[in-house]
Amino acid sequence: MPSLKALLLALFIIAVVVDQSFVEANFPKSMYINWGAHHSSFAGNGEDLQLVLDQTSGSAVKSKRSFLFGSIEMLIKLVPGNSAGTVTAYYVSATVTSTGYKHDEIDFEFLGNVSGQPYIVHTNIYTQGNGSREQQFYLWFDPTADFHNYTIHWNPTEVVWYIDNLPIRVFRNYEKDGIAFPNKQGMRVHASLWNADNWATRGGLVKIDWNSSPFIARFHRFRARACKWDGPVSINQCATKSPANWWTSPSFSQLSSSQMGQLNWVRQNFMIYDYCKDTKRFNGQIPPECFKQQF
């Protein structure tokens, strides 16, 4: 039986290793303003971010680091009132394809609406430059009244989108069947607020009412519990099964039975679009992952 000293040492080592995968993501230290510098600001000892959109500009931030696998969390309070035509985006993206691979991206986009109408949560995933995998949901709460947690979790097995710890969508790894998966590029975290009234609300039929501007989206407590990308060597390092790579644990390889119940509740009650069911759009050639076990 191991001694108490050995157990304490093992726990210390695990704690140090886990801590290395956690980014205490104070906004000014971990992100920079890459668009609309006069329309964004940090506050609250770096725990808060405010993005603004008016007729002159929107605004956006990007993480200084890239990550591969783990969990990216953000608390967001969306634009209140008449937000039609606006989009608040929160996503991870590989914009620099230094590894020679095409664009990967995992998206949350929040499509504004006229006052009293629900926001639409637009999700998508790009693998090797291929997107067209949209799923959309209404929210079961008012996302403008308070902050809610939006988490992107991905590992070598699957990508899961969470809202307040409830899974709403899963994209599993079927790379062995020729379906690309985002596992070979580090991705930076992005947040933005911008004018998308050419498509965001009712397909672009409802335009932005600039009399309601400025539009403000608020972000709080960005956290990255993820593998830090250090170039192509990270492709294997971040996927290796080890205590440090907690996301490779079998418990994260598939949703639990209770999580499946939550997922089904969201999808049955609030899902409004699923690309896998849009036969007209794909001329009957539904993407191959739609015929696989998705959860």
Nearest to 91 by CA among 75, 106, 112, 73: 106
| Active site amino acids | 105, 109
CA distance 40 to 147: 18
Tokens encoding 224 = 């990255």
Alpha helices in the chain (DSSP H): 4-20, 27-30, 234-237, 257-270
C-alpha gyration radius of the chain: 20
Tokens encoding 130: 């291929």
Q: Where does 114-256 have alpha helices with state H?
A: 234-237
**Quick check: helix, strand or coil at residue 175?**
helix
Closest C-alpha to 66, from 109, 99, 111, 115: 99
Please tell me the distance from the alpha carbon of residue 286 to that of residue 100, in angstroms, as a whole number: 28
